[in-house]
Amino acid sequence: MTNRRDFITRSSAALAAATIPAVASTPSQAGEMTGILKKGVKFSMVKEPGMSVVDQFKMLKEVGFHGTELRTENNVDYKMYREAVEKSDFPVHGIVNSNKPDLETAVKFASDIGGTSVLYVAKYDRDRPLMESWKETQSVIRKGLPAAEKYEVKILVENVWAGFLISALDTERYVDEINHPWFGSYFDVGNNVRWGVPQHWIQILGDRIGKLDIKEWDEKKHASEGLRAGFSSELGEGTIDWPAVRAALREIGYKGWATAEVKGGNRERLADISRRMDNILGLA
């Protein structure tokens, strides 16, 4: 088996060039991360029921996003989404599979739609020993890896609030035990703050990070209003140190997608999210 780190060293620059098109911008529009980060949005965040999918894709492009992610269950409407990609020139960069065990189907869908990743959530059964969930979810991933290699689509495990993979060192070990060039981490900047510091996770995970999810976290609201209130602040108005996050991403040489996963809405709301992402991610 090809060593994951050796493979990434040889191919990361070429893969980035192939999958991350250049950002057209004027000097007044460019930020420190322009041309480094691509700004994505989960398609499930779009709340414009009067629009066709084609028009929704065009709208996302118009408000400044570079691509979107679908969910595995959208596969039943594959032709509609494929047509939307072609007519809007707006890519689907990945598929969110959550904890569904059929990774092969998700990988094939991602490849067919032009995506480069499948987001997988490692499920934790709290009624059983932790290492049973550890080994079982790794087994699910290993079963999907031949398809990932065949279609050149990465399977990326995300850190979520399941009480599983709650530290950078856990995630590092989990990824390295599988040790495959088409497997890595889908790092959620906001999800980890309950247990850690985003920029420290980034420094530890390094080139294991395949893509980023973007959320805000507000420690003050968490302390005063309860656990979930930590997610209630808008992007840029919480307590995440975004300049430190950007510095850590530059330090590890990250280049790729950063996708919003926050409360969605109509065109106006999505345009506001896009502007906020520009500010916190150094894209403007």
CB-count exposure of residue 103 (10 Å: 0-12, 13-18, 19+): buried
The rounded Cα 228 to chain-centroid distance in angstroms is 21
Strand-pairing partners, residue 184, are 156
Question: Is pLDDT at 95 greater than 70 in this prediction?
Answer: yes
Pairing of strands 117-121, 256-260: unpaired
Q: What is the pLDDT of residue 13?
A: 37
Amino acid (1-letter code) at residue 163: G
Q: Which three-class secondary structure string do you get for the chain?
A: CCCHHHHHHHHHHHHHHHHCCCCCCCCCCCCCCECCEEEEEEHHHECCCCCCHHHHHHHHHHCCCCEEEEEHHHHHHHHHHHHHHHHHCCCEEEEEEECCCCHHHHHHHHHHHCCCEEEEECCCCCCCCHHHHHHHHHHHHHHHHHHHHHHCCEEEEECCCCCCCCCHHHHHHHHHHHCCCCEEEEEECCHHHHCCCHHHHHHHHHHHEEEEEECCCCHHHHHHHCCHHHHCCCCCCCCCCHHHHHHHHHHHCCCEEEEECCCCECHHHHHHHHHHHHHHHCCC
Convert the pLDDT of each residue in 194-228 to its tens digit: 889 999 999 999 999 999 999 999 988 888 998 88
Q: Please tell me which residue, 220 or 76, carries the higher pLDDT value.
A: 76
d(CA 190, CA 218): 9
What does the pLDDT average to over 85-89?
A: 98
Question: Is pLDDT at 159 greater than 70 in this prediction?
Answer: yes
Strand-pairing partners, residue 121, are 158
d(CA 114, CA 84): 12
Residue 237: phi and psi, rounded to 5, are -115, 10
Question: Is pLDDT at 77 greater than 70 in this prediction?
Answer: yes
Convert the pLDDT of each residue in 240-261 to its tens digit: 999 999 999 999 999 999 999 9
What does the pLDDT average to over 120-126?
A: 95
Beta carbons within 10 angstroms of residue 47's beta carbon:
14
Mean pLDDT of the chain: 91
> Can you list the domains of the chain with their CATH numbers?
4-281 (3.20.20.150)
